[in-house]
Structure 1
Amino acid sequence: MKIKFAMLLLSSFVLLLSGCSTGMTSTTSDILIKEKDYSEDFADAWIMVVDPNDPTSKDEFKIKVQEPMVWNLIEEGKTYFSSYTKKGEDDWVLEQIEHVGDGNAALR
């Protein structure tokens, strides 16, 4: 009886935890900056990037850059090592970026 109760309690706990998922995805990779842009009201800035290590994929994707000073330092045509996150269906958001071979990371 105690074992069944413990298993039921454990199963309920696991189901509760799995149902509370945030839907957050985090990725760390090299990115090649194809384009930098911002909204007309300057409220949003982003970069369009590709994965330079995947020769079969030429699909660009958008990463929002929340810190204006970081966006200003990013150069088109350069490759960076970066971390970026995505919550649900929202856009990717830059978390950290470092010029390949530089050794100094810029945090968001």
Structure 2
Amino acid sequence: MRNKKVILPLLVIVIIGFIIILNNLLTTSSTTAIVTVLEKKYSEANEEAFVVVVPPNMKISEGYHEEAKTKIFIKEPMVWNLIKENKTYLVNYNNKQNGVSILDHIQNIDDNNAIDLNQTKNYFN
């Protein structure tokens, strides 16, 4: 009987903790924006490709605010290779609860051909 009194509250705490962790990892929102790519980087240590973007109306010569920057991770190396710095793109990216942004769709503003990452997955699977 005594073991049940200890195990039940412990089990409830573990379940609540598991739900909180899942909520933080799985909750996302989607953002669509026109952005200018400031930096394009690849971290070999973590094998992560990402771009740093700002709204296109920000004048880089006058300086830009740190809070306007967004770091977007790119899972597909081929897509990362096609992105150019100082170019403007229409992007759609998912924002996870933990603050990580992952690219979902990118289109050159001057081009009608978009790279839809959901469709490219079907070609390689």
The TM-score with structure 1 as length reference comes to: 0.72
Do the aligned residues in 2 keep the contact of 1:30 with 1:53 (CA within 8 Å)?
no
* Cα distance in 2 for residues equivalent to 1:52 and 1:27: 15
Q: What residue in structure 1 maps to residue 98 of structure 2?
A: 89
The one-letter code matched in structure 1 to 2:81 is N
* 2:15 is equivalent to residue 33 of structure 1: no
* Cα distance in 2 for residues equivalent to 1:99 and 1:29: 12
Contiguous gaps of at least 5 residues in structure 2:
1-22, 118-125
Q: What SS is found at the alignment partner of 1:81? A: strand
Cα offset for 1:42? Answer: 6.2
Cα offset for 1:89? Answer: 1.3
Contiguous gaps of at least 5 residues in structure 1:
1-19
* Cα distance in 1 for residues equivalent to 2:105 and 2:57: 19
Q: How many residues align?
A: 88
Which deviates further from its counterpart, 75-84 or 22-31?
22-31
The one-letter code matched in structure 2 to 1:69 is M
Q: What residue in structure 1 maps to residue 4 of structure 2?
A: none
Select the structure that is richer in helix. 2
Match of 1:62 among 67, 71, 86: 71
Cα offset for 1:99? Answer: 0.3
The one-letter code matched in structure 1 to 2:111 is D
Judging changes above 3 Å, is the alpha-carbon distance between structure 1 residues 97 and 88 closer, same or farther for their aligned structure 2 residues?
same
Match of 2:85 among 68, 76, 86: 76
The TM-score with structure 2 as length reference comes to: 0.63
* Cα distance in 2 for residues equivalent to 1:40 and 1:61: 20
